[in-house]
Structure 1
Amino acid sequence: MNNTIPVSPYKSEMLESFSLWYGKWHGYISLVICVIGIILNTINIVVLTRKKMQTPINSILTWLAVFDIATMMSYVPFAFHFYCRYSTFFISSDKNSKPWMTFLLVYLNFSATTHTISIWLAVALAIFRHKHLHSPAKGSLTRMRRLIRARVVVCVIVCTSILIMIPNYVIHKLEKIELRNNATMYVFEDWNLGSKHTHPVTTLALIMYSVLAKILPSLLIMLYGGLLLKTLSKSMRVKRRLSEGGASLSYQRNRNPSRTTIMLLTVIVLFLVTELPQGILIVCSVFLEKFFEHIYIPLGDVMDILALINNAINFVLYCTMSHEFRRTFVKLFWSFSLFALATNHYTPSPSKNNNSNEGSVSIKSVSQKRNSSLTMYTKTINARGDSIL
């Protein structure tokens, strides 16, 4: 009798070859993206927390940047140790030591939680933007109520996401392996996904994670994204009629909400592209034997790098599509640069009165140049001001 090992229908030599090739570069690429993303998201937080920029949407975008930074900061030591310092596809007692595997355990749960919070914040962005476009209420009191409501929603999302992830925290366990040279290393317990040996708690936890943290928010993003597209299409038709009728002033006024809507649509679509496929792959891994080993794991690095790019790219979107964000950023950068210039090169001397006077005159001249430049810049784009609502 010939005993043959059944070949998995999901095994792909091409996919495994690509995974082996890309795995050699993933650590270095991800480190570069993380460093850039942390810097850009820090700038996002600084700009969006200015007094004139405090709106409900900006509040959500600020917290989105916070959790994006948290995700990337936790990814840096992970990528350095498990991809750059040691070979990607081999295990050893040094690479898989108990401290580092404990860190990996904490990192996996932490990053899954921050991703869950981020995608639900994207859902909140779509809902708040949709409600804003269809709400006739205006005024400072209404704005303040919406701002408070946005902050409450952020708190609810954070707390709910942690509760959703509790079953996921439980199923990750470490196993100790004794090696021949009396050394020890640690690996994760095999889940045996897609087989009869899968523990019910593991199945339940992964289904909850895929549905509540990936698929459901993606469906809500598609729903409200579609409503925003419908509203945007209607707004574009109105603008086209106004432009054809020669109402240029009205056209300029109606231009800003469309830019903001397009920007937010881009943000949430990026979440949809990165999160929905992962949710579907997790569901397939639960029910299809060997799917996790032959499909999900080889694609893991690709899903990670797409998520990191999504975390880092928002600054470019804000600068491209929001005049208010761009103007605030330029003012902050300009003020910081001129303050540093005045501090370094025009420090007055306390020893002589004439030197002190000369120093004060120089600082005053720098201040005048700064004010005139800012006034000139403000005049050129004052008629185009918008805000991320």
Structure 2
Amino acid sequence: MDIICERFSKPYFETRCRNATMNSTVNVTPYKSENLEYFSITYSNWHGYISLITCAIGIPLNIINIIVLTRKNMQTPINCILTWLAVADTATMISYVPFSYHFYCRFSAFTISSEKNSWVWMHFLLIYLNFSSTAHTIAIWLAVALAIMRHHHLHSPAKGSITRMRRLIRARLVVCVVVCTSVILLIPNYLSHNLEEVRFRDNTTGYVFEDWEINSGHAKPIRLVSLIVYGSLAKILPCALIIIFGSLLLRTLNKTMQNRRHLSENGVTISARRHADPSRTTSMLLVVIVLFLITELPQGILIMCCIFLQNFFENIYIPLGDVMDMLALLNNSINFVLYCTMSQEFRSTFIALFCSFSCTHERRKPYISSHYNGDHLLVTLNSVEHTG
């Protein structure tokens, strides 16, 4: 038997629902925007299927990113960061698949039941929430590292293989620091989620998350701390750093383009291979970090608003949760397209790895030949190359 929430919110976060046995309503807060409520209810019916399709496309593409970026000729400090960014995106989408299937496709998003909200699935949801928030935090701080390292590289005169190795080691250390710091940073978030048991009319039980009671005066301090830390240090601060260093990169890119235009107008020919053009790498990284900015900054602002505005969490943040998840999944899936479009070296390595392999299989096809040698029939297995 399902319990349908009187109050509009996702039932696995909400505890104040109408019990079918008791038929009583507890402390319901009406929504201020009927349009937002209607949009969220309508979109939630499609969210599970859209997110599964997005993950089905994004997971293989990110695995390809990892394979290509870890080739020997691709091992650079920037590509090291991009590799671990792809790992974080892949982990996020893999964990999202069972979450989306169970809580959106198999069951309605706005009902709770003993089967949907079982002990196993709700503890999975608890692990998923902590895991995904950690992966998102790691990803956005890696985007910050991309912007800072690229800015430093463009303004560093040091060159050579030794400098390259030092930068590669430094990039790996940065990844380790980002991962460890993100886990430590989100400890208050890990401690904030608790499950409580609810009983249904058929005497079965299920589990939901305790209400955080934000702005009620009864919220636990650890939950307020987790919102402040997550909103400021995992969203607002990295977005601010992305804006600062992204602006510096854009300024450097504009200067480079102006210098080239000036040299071209004076009849100077610039001889440089396309894949070695640093401005193309800078442009690609700018697109990557701007996508993070579009995805993460609104969520950070919404989280901070939850702390200071009455009923904002229930009336605004929860209804927009599916949309924010979808934006994050799209951001996780699009990097392969960016790399192929804007990086000649990535494109060449990808073709050499995957296309040449299939072409080799196509060119060398086995065939059987036979001929007589005296009274004996000789059969030979050969292969031939088709040049097309």
TM-score normalized with structure 1 length: 0.87
Is 1:171 the equivalent of 2:171?
no
Identity of aligned residues (%): 64
| Contact persistence 1:242–1:250 (CA under 8 A) | no
Instruction: Tell me whether 176-185 or 100-109 shows the greater mean CA deviation.
Output: 176-185
User: Of 30, 54, 79, which aligns to 2:100?
Assistant: 79
- Superposed CA RMSD in Å reads 2.2
Q: 1:137 to 1:101 in 2, by over 3 A?
A: same
Q: Secondary structure at the match of 1:248?
A: coil
In structure 1, what is the equivalent of residue 166 of structure 2? 145
Q: Distance in 2 between matches of 1:7 and 1:185?
A: 23
Is 1:278 the equivalent of 2:310?
no
Q: Secondary structure at the match of 1:177?
A: strand
Matches within 5 A, 1:111-260: 111-250=132-271, 256-260=277-281
Q: Secondary structure at the match of 1:249?
A: coil
In structure 2, what is the equivalent of residue 29 of structure 1? 50
Q: Distance in 2 between matches of 1:195 and 1:255?
A: 57
Deviations 1:265-285 (Å, cap 9, x if unpaired)? Answer: 000011011111111111111
Instruction: Tell me whether 347-356 or 314-323 shows the greater mean CA deviation.
Output: 347-356
Q: 1:232 to 1:255 in 2, by over 3 A?
A: farther
| Contact persistence 1:193–1:288 (CA under 8 A) | no
Deviations 1:195-236 (Å, cap 9, x if unpaired)? Answer: 211111110111011111101100000010010011011101
In the alignment of these two chains, the number of paired residues is 357
Q: Distance in 2 between matches of 1:96 and 1:68?
A: 27
| Runs of 5+ unmatched residues, structure 1 | 371-389
Q: Secondary structure at the match of 1:292?
A: helix
- 1:246 Cα deviation after fit: 2.2
Higher percent of residues as helix:
1
In structure 1, what is the equivalent of residue 36 of structure 2? 15
| Contact persistence 2:274–2:344 (CA under 8 A) | no
Q: Distance in 1 between matches of 2:48 and 2:268?
A: 54
Deviations 1:236-283 (Å, cap 9, x if unpaired)? Answer: 100111111222334767982111111100000110111111111111
In structure 2, what is the equivalent of residue 386 of structure 1? none
Deviations 1:156-207 (Å, cap 9, x if unpaired)? Answer: 1000000001110001000001122110010000010122111111101110
In structure 2, what is the equivalent of residue 373 of structure 1? none
Could you tell me which amino acid in structure 2 is paired with residue 69 of structure 1?
Answer: T
In structure 2, what is the equivalent of residue 97 of structure 1? 118
Could you tell me which amino acid in structure 2 is paired with residue 89 of structure 1?
Answer: F
| Contact persistence 2:370–2:379 (CA under 8 A) | no
Instruction: Tell me whether 238-247 or 59-68 shows the greater mean CA deviation.
Output: 238-247
Matches within 5 A, 1:344-355: 345-346=365-366, 355=380
User: Of 267, 284, 293, which aligns to 2:288?
Assistant: 267
Q: Distance in 2 between matches of 1:76 and 1:304?
A: 12
In structure 2, what is the equivalent of residue 287 of structure 1? 308
Q: Secondary structure at the match of 1:185?
A: strand
User: Of 309, 314, 330, which aligns to 1:309?
Assistant: 330
Could you tell me which amino acid in structure 1 is paired with residue 209 of structure 2?
Answer: F
| Contact persistence 2:78–2:171 (CA under 8 A) | yes
- 1:311 Cα deviation after fit: 0.2
Q: Distance in 2 between matches of 1:124 and 1:350?
A: 64
User: Of 66, 69, 81, which aligns to 1:48?
Assistant: 69
Q: 1:278 to 1:350 in 2, by over 3 A?
A: farther
| Runs of 5+ unmatched residues, structure 2 | 1-26, 372-376
Q: Distance in 1 between matches of 2:367 and 2:184?
A: 55
Q: Secondary structure at the match of 2:270?
A: helix
Q: Distance in 2 between matches of 1:348 and 1:113?
A: 57
Q: Distance in 2 between matches of 1:166 and 1:339?
A: 51
- 1:88 Cα deviation after fit: 1.1
In structure 2, what is the equivalent of residue 376 of structure 1? none
Q: 1:165 to 1:347 in 2, by over 3 A?
A: farther
Q: Distance in 2 between matches of 1:97 and 1:6?
A: 25
TM-score normalized with structure 2 length: 0.88
Deviations 1:289-320 (Å, cap 9, x if unpaired)? Answer: 21111100010000000000000000000011
Q: Distance in 2 between matches of 1:43 and 1:6?
A: 48
Q: 1:181 to 1:235 in 2, by over 3 A?
A: same
